[in-house]
Amino acid sequence: MSRPTARATAVQVGEFLAGVAATYIAVGAAWTVTGAIWAAILVAGALIAVAAVAEVRLGPRATGFLAGVLPTAVVTAGLLAVLSSVLGRLES
Protein backbone atom coordinates (compact mmCIF):
# COMPACT_ATOMS: atom_id res chain seq x y z
CA MET A 1 0.00 0.00 0.00
CA SER A 2 1.35 3.42 -0.91
CA ARG A 3 1.81 6.17 1.63
CA PRO A 4 -0.49 9.17 1.35
CA THR A 5 1.06 12.35 0.09
CA ALA A 6 1.03 15.57 2.08
CA ARG A 7 -1.31 17.12 -0.49
CA ALA A 8 -3.84 14.28 -0.24
CA THR A 9 -3.74 14.46 3.53
CA ALA A 10 -4.26 18.22 3.49
CA VAL A 11 -7.23 17.82 1.13
CA GLN A 12 -8.88 15.25 3.41
CA VAL A 13 -8.33 17.42 6.49
CA GLY A 14 -9.88 20.34 4.60
CA GLU A 15 -12.85 18.21 3.60
CA PHE A 16 -13.27 17.12 7.22
CA LEU A 17 -13.23 20.73 8.43
CA ALA A 18 -15.70 21.76 5.73
CA GLY A 19 -18.04 18.95 6.78
CA VAL A 20 -17.82 19.90 10.45
CA ALA A 21 -18.38 23.60 9.75
CA ALA A 22 -21.30 22.96 7.38
CA THR A 23 -22.94 20.69 9.94
CA TYR A 24 -22.57 23.08 12.87
CA ILE A 25 -23.90 25.97 10.79
CA ALA A 26 -26.85 24.10 9.26
CA VAL A 27 -28.00 22.22 12.37
CA GLY A 28 -27.46 25.19 14.66
CA ALA A 29 -29.30 27.53 12.29
CA ALA A 30 -32.24 25.14 12.00
CA TRP A 31 -32.53 24.90 15.78
CA THR A 32 -32.08 28.66 16.27
CA VAL A 33 -34.63 29.67 13.64
CA THR A 34 -37.35 27.19 14.55
CA GLY A 35 -36.66 26.50 18.22
CA ALA A 36 -37.78 22.93 17.58
CA ILE A 37 -35.48 19.97 17.93
CA TRP A 38 -37.22 18.13 15.11
CA ALA A 39 -35.93 20.67 12.60
CA ALA A 40 -32.35 20.15 13.79
CA ILE A 41 -32.75 16.37 13.62
CA LEU A 42 -34.21 16.55 10.10
CA VAL A 43 -31.41 18.83 8.91
CA ALA A 44 -28.82 16.51 10.47
CA GLY A 45 -30.42 13.54 8.70
CA ALA A 46 -30.48 15.40 5.40
CA LEU A 47 -26.80 16.34 5.75
CA ILE A 48 -25.89 12.73 6.50
CA ALA A 49 -27.83 11.58 3.43
CA VAL A 50 -26.12 14.17 1.20
CA ALA A 51 -22.68 13.22 2.54
CA ALA A 52 -23.39 9.52 2.03
CA VAL A 53 -24.51 10.10 -1.56
CA ALA A 54 -21.39 12.21 -2.18
CA GLU A 55 -19.25 9.40 -0.78
CA VAL A 56 -20.92 6.82 -3.03
CA ARG A 57 -20.69 9.00 -6.15
CA LEU A 58 -17.23 10.50 -5.59
CA GLY A 59 -15.59 7.63 -3.72
CA PRO A 60 -12.45 8.36 -1.73
CA ARG A 61 -12.44 12.00 -2.83
CA ALA A 62 -15.29 12.74 -0.37
CA THR A 63 -14.24 10.54 2.55
CA GLY A 64 -13.05 13.49 4.65
CA PHE A 65 -16.35 15.31 4.14
CA LEU A 66 -18.38 12.28 5.25
CA ALA A 67 -16.08 11.72 8.22
CA GLY A 68 -16.69 15.32 9.29
CA VAL A 69 -20.45 15.39 8.74
CA LEU A 70 -21.52 12.05 10.19
CA PRO A 71 -20.35 12.26 13.80
CA THR A 72 -20.84 16.02 14.03
CA ALA A 73 -24.45 15.82 12.83
CA VAL A 74 -25.33 13.02 15.23
CA VAL A 75 -23.64 14.59 18.25
CA THR A 76 -24.91 18.12 17.56
CA ALA A 77 -28.51 17.00 17.08
CA GLY A 78 -28.28 14.85 20.22
CA LEU A 79 -26.84 17.66 22.33
CA LEU A 80 -29.49 20.09 21.12
CA ALA A 81 -32.19 17.52 21.95
CA VAL A 82 -30.84 17.20 25.49
CA LEU A 83 -30.53 20.97 25.82
CA SER A 84 -34.12 21.45 24.64
CA SER A 85 -35.33 18.82 27.09
CA VAL A 86 -33.47 20.41 30.01
CA LEU A 87 -34.69 23.89 29.12
CA GLY A 88 -38.24 22.58 28.83
CA ARG A 89 -38.01 21.07 32.32
CA LEU A 90 -36.61 24.27 33.78
CA GLU A 91 -39.46 26.34 32.33
CA SER A 92 -42.18 24.20 33.89
Report pLDDT digits (tens) over 27-47: 999 999 998 889 999 999 999
Instruction: List the Cα angle 81/25/13 in 5-degree steps.
Output: 110
pLDDT of residue 8: 85
pLDDT, mean of residues 3-10: 87
CA distance 76 to 40: 9
Give the pLDDT confidence score for residue 35 in this predicted structure: 85
Calculate the alpha carbon distances from 46 to 31, 39, 49, 59, 77 in Å. Answer: 14, 10, 5, 19, 12
All structural domains of the chain with their residue ranges? 10-91
pTM, two decimals, is: 0.83
pLDDT tens per residue across span 48-76: 999 999 999 998 888 899 999 999 999 99
Please determine, for residue 92, whether its predicted confidence score (pLDDT) is greater than 80. no
Give residue 22's pLDDT: 93
